[in-house]
Amino acid sequence: MERDPVDLLQPLWRALVVFRLMTFGFACFGVWTRWDAIVHPYGAILQLVVMGVWTVVSSIGYSRRWGRRNTRLAFADLIITVGCMYATLLAQPLIHIRGGASVLTSIWVAGPVLALAISRGRDGGLLGAVTVSLALLSLRGVDQLGKVLGNVQLLLVAGLVVGYAASTLRRAGDRLREAIAAESATAERLRLSRSIHDGVLQVLAQVQRRGHAIGGEAVELAELAAEQEVALRTLMSSRPAAVGGGRIDLCAQLLPLATTKIDVVVPAVPVLLPSTAADELVAAVKEALSNVHKHAGAEARTWVVVEDLDDAVLVSIRDDGLGTTPAQLEQARTDGHLGVSQSIRGRITDLGGTATVRTAPGEGTEWELKVDRA
């Protein structure tokens, strides 16, 4: 079975196996000390045999090297443990148990409670504790409630505490895996970046310089080389977008938009937003860039700047193109061109943000898209 280097639940599973073996030993010792008081000794022996076999089977299942630890095994453990509790009736009549005789399974019954707590968290531990407690109460009877209450409380506390700890460790393990994956991806990206920089980028830069120097049709080749150089540099500087918890890095989604005529400036640290908000914001930015390509002129350059304002995120899209007037923007909306009113303003408004545009003929256009982190 392949080892998981970041499985933080392994110590809990190993502790459960040790607990199972030790409590089985306690149960055997309890039967030995009460041997003379047992009405049907052979029934007690049969019960211990079943408990011993299941202790071995469940320990193998919960161990690291053998079997799969999953919810089905934990539920099977719960069912068989409850069955072993009722198997006490083979050794002691029910009237004796309700009169004060011990249930021979003793503390061994806490095993499936801990197993469910580890595998399913707090809710699993609570379910296991309630099930075992009800079985114990059915054997002891309502008259013995005072004596059983202490055991019930211990089972509930154990299930809740271990379940909470397991859930916390599981979340920590997920975050650790994400961090390791991100670190590995970054290391691989840096290695590839060095190779690309030492080879491909230098060749593209040389083609760009020679193409402009030669002139004529070679200029087109130089422009293509320049575009590919920008694309490669953007790829080299990109970073993972997903960070977990339903949030993504807005900068990682905007950086690939850079071209020879579009500069994307982002903070060095991730700018985190809920994935839905980030997707809508990126779509609005793309629509603004599309408008620059259509209306600003062939030589227009664009700058996309991301600012982290702690409680909000501000994205500015500014170009040095032909510009327009607010009246023309309103006329475009009236004529049925919904790029500005729906694809840009509509998206940001739906996110509870603001979209502000400043433009004038000959002075280009600047959009400011502001979205609250909430």
What pLDDT was estimated at residue 87? 92
pLDDT at position 67 is 43
- The reported pLDDT for the residue numbered 238 is 61
- Distance between CA atoms of 17 and 11, rounded to whole angstroms? 10
Q: Is residue 69 predicted with pLDDT exceeding 60?
A: no
Out of 10-24, 53-67, 91-105, 293-307, least confident range: 53-67
Tokens of 110: 């806490």
Beta carbons of 162 and 200 less than 8 angstroms apart: no
In tens, the pLDDT along 256-294 reads 888 878 888 888 888 888 888 888 999 999 988 888 888
Q: What pTM did the predictor assign?
A: 0.59
Q: How far apart are CA 97 and CA 330, in angstroms?
A: 86
Say which residue the tokens 């209306």 belong to.
295
Give the pLDDT confidence of 303-356 residue by residue, as tens digits.
999 999 888 999 999 998 888 777 776 666 655 455 565 678 888 988 899 988
Of 4-13, 55-64, 120-129, 354-363, give the lowest mean pLDDT range: 4-13
CA distance linking residue 160 with residue 318, whole number of Å: 55
pLDDT at 243: 56
pLDDT at 199 over 70: no
The neighbouring-strand residues paired with 247 are 244, 274
* pLDDT tens readout for residues 318-329: 998 888 777 776
pLDDT score of 234 more than 80: no
Cβ 86 vs Cβ 93: under 8 Å: no
Amino acid, res. 300: A
Q: Which CATH number fits domain 240-374: 3.40.50.2300, 3.40.50.720, 3.30.565.10, 3.30.460.20?
A: 3.30.565.10
Q: Is 261 helix (H, G, I), strand (E, B) or coil?
A: coil
Full strand arrangement of the beta sheet holding 365-372: 262-265, 302-308, 312-319, 365-372, 354-359
The pLDDT, as a whole number, for residue 66 is 46
Q: What is the mean pLDDT of residues 158-167?
A: 91
Going by pLDDT thresholds of 50, 70 and 90, the confidence category of residue 47 is very high
Residue 292 has what pLDDT?
Answer: 86
d(C-alpha 107, C-alpha 116), whole Å: 16
More confident residue, 128 or 205: 128
Number of H helices, E strands in the chain: 12, 8
Q: What pLDDT score does 197 carry?
A: 58
